[in-house]
Structure 1
Amino acid sequence: MPLVRISLPQTTPSAEVAAVSDTIHRAMVETFNVPELDRFQVVHRHSPEELVCTPEYLGVSHGGQVVFVQITCAPGRSLEMKKALYAKIASDISQTSAFPAADVIINLVETNRENWSFGLGIAQYSQ
């Protein structure tokens, strides 16, 4: 049930957008116990002034082309699972696209299952 928001530069080619999207989903399936068919993503392409990332933070240098990944999901996964997910996403994106691992910024937002509806106005997880 994670909802993934992916923000990339406007100039990112469609094939690369698809690779990033597929890579993130595959990483969640492999490290985060997400079912294969549980895929909900929103992809945004932004102009240069709409993607702002500091050149260096916490010892990590960032280039001019970053990808922001925000994953909203239910709580309950361990810190080890979260670390494994972050590492796999960054590593795999750097292998399947032009984005270096240092330029993959990930944010995880946890929300209770009752805060979700997957259609028909029904809170499926609160039944």
Structure 2
Amino acid sequence: MPLLRFNILLGRTDPEISRLLDAAHRAIVTAFGVPEGDRYQLVSEYREGTLTLLDTGLGIKRTNKVTLVEVTSRMRPEAQKKRFYEILCENLKEDCGIESSDIIVSFVENGDADWSFGLGRAQFLTGELS
């Protein structure tokens, strides 16, 4: 936990997607201090014309590598989120050639009762996870 959803345009190869996921996971581990094995990721690919990600009037130029990362997580301090944004952009530039202008991140936060990792239990509430 956290759960990352990647929304991208069709056309990336399997190795490119693997590098994307690996780079993002390293950013999560570094910024949030989660265990290496704490990895939940989904990729959704969209045809051209079915994914619109503009710049909110900021003058940011987007390319066909535009990537929307949705992070569902327990509450995180603002400093950790900012650090995640920085590390994610660094990793994706270095490993995938994706410019920071093509990276959009949105957090959706929830609480301990909102997670069950299996076995019909809420592990944050039972104390199995902290």
Shorter-chain TM-score above 0.5: yes
Q: Which amino acid aligns with 2:41?
A: Q
Q: Counterpart in 1 of 2:124?
A: 125
Q: Counterpart in 2 of 1:46?
A: 46
Q: 1:56 to 1:115 in 2, by over 3 A?
A: closer
Q: Which amino acid aligns with 1:34?
A: V
Preserved CA contact (<8 Å) 1:56 1:62: no
Preserved CA contact (<8 Å) 2:66 2:102: yes
Q: Which amino acid aligns with 2:114?
A: N
Preserved CA contact (<8 Å) 1:66 1:103: yes
Structure 2 unaligned spans of 5+? none
Residues 1:57 and 2:57 are matched in the alignment = yes
Q: Counterpart in 1 of 2:89?
A: 90
Name the TM-score, length of structure 1 as normaliser: 0.90
Distance 2:55 2:124 in 1: 41
Structure 1 unaligned spans of 5+? none
Pairs aligned (count): 126
Name the TM-score, length of structure 2 as normaliser: 0.88
Preserved CA contact (<8 Å) 2:3 2:41: yes
1:100-126, CA deviations, whole angstroms, 9 ceiling, x for partnerless residues? 111011111110011011112221112
Give 1:1-127 correspondences, 5 Å limit. Answer: 1-54=1-54, 57-75=57-75, 77-127=76-126
Distance 1:39 1:109 in 2: 17
Distance 1:41 1:3 in 2: 6
Distance 1:51 1:117 in 2: 31
TM-fit CA distance, 1:56 = 6.1
SS at match of 1:61: coil
TM-fit CA distance, 1:63 = 2.3
